[in-house]
């Protein structure tokens, strides 16, 4: 974030200083094209792993969620609110929901790289499971997060050799961080989850009623 960061909205997860070091370590990255307020899916990415990961009817109004795999607020939204969004808005064809990673630290970035490298149909189940078990693989001080993440990836069909190759892929890392940097610039993201709905940016945890009200 830029100096003079505004106070984060209650119920959201402010970006810690470690996320800044992720960007710094990768260098000054520029996205190849500016992101626009979500009205339709973005054009196909040069790297197929960076293609949109989403749920819902093609052509429906797009809602973006910028989330972090290590954000407890994102985990609660995924567990408590997203199932209602899925049943009442996505499955009924009212919206198309697109997931976009916003890494907060190195382990968060590794999780995003692994998720992006799985077949598209495995993205949502893998993301959901990582958020559900977040306290076990990301925050348990008795385990090594990288090894726990590798175990989770193996359950999703990615052997350790491929996991090591994916997490060492500087090109993919740069793509994810470039998209993050552009989103930060375009949407002034300072907490996760952040939602972009009808061109409007909403930050922090919300109820289903509030979420649905954005679409009215």
Crossing angle for the helix pair 170-187 and 17-26, to the nearest 10 degrees? 120
How many alpha carbons fall within 13 Å on the CB side of residue 101?
A: 33
| pLDDT tens, residue by residue, 45-87 | 689 999 999 999 999 999 999 999 999 999 999 999 999 999 9
Instruction: Average the pLDDT over 163-183 and give the result.
Output: 97
pLDDT at 98: 98
pLDDT at 46: 81
| Torsion angles phi and psi, residue 29, rounded to 5 | -105, 135
Beta bridge partners of 54: 98
Percent over 70 (pLDDT), the chain: 79
pLDDT at 25: 42
Q: Say yes or no to pLDDT of 34 above 80.
A: no
Q: What angle do CA 76, 81, 83 make, to 5 degrees?
A: 115
- Domains, the chain: 62-213 (3.40.30.10)
Q: Say yes or no to pLDDT of 36 above 80.
A: no
Q: Say yes or no to pLDDT of 39 above 60.
A: no
| Model confidence band, residue 44 (pLDDT cutoffs 50, 70, 90) | low
Q: Are strands 191-192 and 194-197 parallel, antiparallel or unpaired?
A: unpaired
Q: Which residue has the higher pLDDT, 216 or 85?
A: 85
Q: Write the DSSP assignment of the chain as a string of letters.
A: --SSPPPPPTTSEEPPHHHHHHHHHH-----SS----SSSPPPPPSSGGGS-EEEE-TTSPEEEEEE-TT-HHHHHHHHHTHHHHIIIIITTTS-EEEEEE---SHHHHHHHHHHHHS-HHHHHHHHHHHHHTHHHHTS-TTS-HHHHHHHHHHHTT--HHHHHHHHT-HHHHHHHHHHHHHHHHHH---EESEEEETTEEEES---HHHHHHTT-
Taking phi first (over 0 means left), then psi (-120 to 50 degrees means alpha), and beta for anything else, what does residue 198 get?
Answer: left
| pLDDT tens, residue by residue, 7-16 | 233 344 444 4
């Amino acid at each position: 974030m830029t100096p003079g960061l505004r106070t984060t909205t209650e119920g959201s997860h402010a970006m810690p200083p470690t996320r800044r070091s992720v960007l710094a370590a990768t260098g000054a990255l520029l996205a190849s094209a500016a992101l626009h307020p979500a009205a339709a899916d973005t054009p196909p990415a040069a790297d197929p792993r960076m293609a949109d990961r989403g749920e819902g009817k093609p052509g429906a109004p797009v809602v973006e969620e910028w989330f972090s795999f290590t954000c407890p607020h994102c985990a609660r939204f995924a567990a408590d609110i997203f199932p209602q969004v899925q049943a009442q808005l996505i499955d009924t064809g009212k919206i198309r929901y697109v997931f976009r990673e916003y890494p907060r630290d190195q382990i968060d970035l590794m999780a995003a790289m692994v998720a992006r490298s799985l077949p598209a149909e495995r993205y949502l189940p893998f993301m959901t499971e990582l958020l559900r078990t977040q306290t076990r693989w990301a925050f348990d001080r008795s385990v090594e997060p990288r090894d726990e993440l590798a175990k989770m990836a193996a359950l999703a069909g990615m052997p350790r050799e491929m996991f090591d190759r994916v997490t060492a892929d500087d090109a993919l890392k740069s793509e994810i961080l470039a998209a993050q940097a552009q989103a930060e610039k375009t949407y002034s993201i300072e907490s996760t989850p952040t939602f972009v709905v009808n061109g409007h940016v909403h930050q922090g945890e919300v109820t289903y009623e509030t979420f649905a009200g954005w679409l009215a």
